[in-house]
Amino acid sequence: MKRWTLLGWFCFIPAFAQEARVLPLTLEQAVDLGLAPDGALRLQLAGELIRQAEAQRGQARAALLPGADGAYTFRSFTNNLEAFGVRLEIPGLPFRPPNFVGPIETSDWRAQFTWNVLDLSAWTRYKAAGSRLKAAGLEQQAARNQAAAAVVRAYTNLQRAHQQIETARANVELAERLRRLAESRKAAGAGTGIEITRAGVQLANERTRLLAAEEERSAAELQLLRAMNLPLMTRVETREELRYEPRETPDAEALLEAARAGRPELQAQRERRRAAGLSFEAARRERLPSLQAFGDYGVVGTTFSSGLPTRSVGVRVNLPVFDGGRRDARRAETASLARQEELRTRDVEQQVEMEVRLAAEAIRSAEAQVRTALEALALAEQELAHAERRYEAGVAPALEVTDAQTRVARAREQKVTAIFRHRSARVEVGVATGALEEILR
């Protein structure tokens, strides 16, 4: 319900494009929008691939079901009976009957049916089509995970940009306060002009960083709108702050087992490998005999009223003998495709293992970086407080305060960056194991 409420809100955006509209979003709402039917392009393409696979399975199933056709044939012909060895000679007649007959016109209304009663090759192709359909479904699930991950990354990046702006503003306020302190000391005769100049330079630097942070926020906002496939003129506001939430560092081997069982890309590739093996088996079974039932029923005559009903029913056993090497070539082709899918499966397995191990290492490193950044910020703030007291007491130069101020500003930025990396590492763990929703819960 939340998803459709948000989507309904966007129906009015084009009519008010000139107005500055801000859409407050939580992470859950952003993911819902990204996974909406008209959301990420990759989801729409994945849906089309499923429909294509369903149609291919329907074609394979049709080869196993009875088929019926109706036909009407009108024929007008002449013929030479003598060409078929027929010579009309009637004793007692003074003349010989003509061997040329016609024109003769016939009409044939007929219904025909066929049924491949036993065709192991067609049955195996149907099973292969089923595996391809299952692989397409798993690919859609993988596309959903990737689309959700793209939204989460963009949303997290926007959270980081917001906090970078807040940090930059706090640094600007600190620089302004220290410049005022330098001005008051000079007015009291205890400071110098160089101290005011140095504080002004520091203030200008912090304002430059604020402008850069605002630019980064605009870029992050556009990336989030693109990930959700929403109009780019929309303004987005995150309703959640980027916070550090301590979590138990996961074990790489446990994550790897979870990825092997739950990663949809790996499962989809295994289904494609199975489909390729079944296609090869279907090509091999083309050499086996097949059983086909057939029949027809209809009315044939010079006109419909003069026609007589006729029928034929039978069973045909097809025995493949020689087809110019077409079956052998098809079997070699499907064998090569099966080997290719086997190689791709091993490659995907290695890729998944690498992503899991990298994600596990990244989150361990991010945990340590966050703890270090928090400790560094606390120490930098203590240093700045001491430096300010010493400067006010006249026992420390302004340069000591400026250095401490710089370290506080950088420590604040490093704290935001470390928390962002920790959050990003958690996202990558979810993507690597195929359990993004559980990781973000």
pLDDT along the chain (441 residues), means of 10: 46 44 84 78 83 91 90 88 74 70 86 91 92 92 89 91 91 87 80 83 90 93 89 86 80 89 91 94 91 92 82 92 88 94 95 93 91 93 88 78 86 92 90 78 61
Q: Helix, strand, or coil here: 249?
A: coil
The position carrying tokens 């101290």 is 195
Query: How far, in Å, CA of 216 to CA of 220, rounded?
Result: 6
CA distances from residue 117 to 61, 125, 290, 342 in whole angstroms, order as listed? 13, 15, 8, 33
Compute the distance between CA of residue 154 and CA of residue 222 in angstroms, rounded to an integer: 9
What distance in Å separates the CA atoms of residue 171 and residue 176, rounded to the nearest whole number?
9
Please list, in sequence order, all residues whose beta carbon lies within 8 angstroms of the beta carbon of residue 189, skipping any fewer than 6 positions away.
none
- List of residues 6+ apart from 280 with CB closer than 8 A: 331, 334, 335, 337, 338
> 161: closest CA among 241, 69, 74, 263?
241
Residue among 407, 424, 419 at smallest CA distance from 372 = 419
- Predicted pLDDT at 93: 64
Burial class (CB in 10 A: 0-12, 13-18, 19+), 76: exposed
Cα distances (angstroms) measured from residue 303 to each of 48, 75, 103, 410: 50, 11, 14, 99
| pLDDT at position 5 | 47
The residue whose two tokens read 């955006």 is 13
C-alpha distance from residue 133 to each of 43, 196, 347, 349 (Å): 16, 72, 22, 21
Longest dimension (CA), the chain: 156
pLDDT, position 18: 43
Contact indicator for 214, 166 with CB cutoff of 8 Å? no
* Residues 273 and 349: beta-carbon distance below 8 Å: no
Task: Return the ∠ at Cα 63 (arms to 60 and 67), rounded to 5°.
Answer: 135
CA distance 428 to 441: 14
CA distance linking residue 124 with residue 276, whole number of Å: 11
Q: CA 51, 341, 428: angle at the middle one, nearest 5?
A: 75
Residue 307: its pLDDT value, please?
A: 83
The token pair at 298 is 């209809």
Query: What pLDDT shows up at residue 196?
Result: 85
What CATH fold (topology level) applies to the domain 26-68+119-287+328-440?
Outer membrane efflux proteins (OEP) (1.20.1600)
139 is written with which tokens? 């690919």
Cis peptide before 103 (omega within 30 of 0): yes
What end-to-end distance do the CA atoms of the chain give, in Å? 20
For 159, the token pair is 């959270």
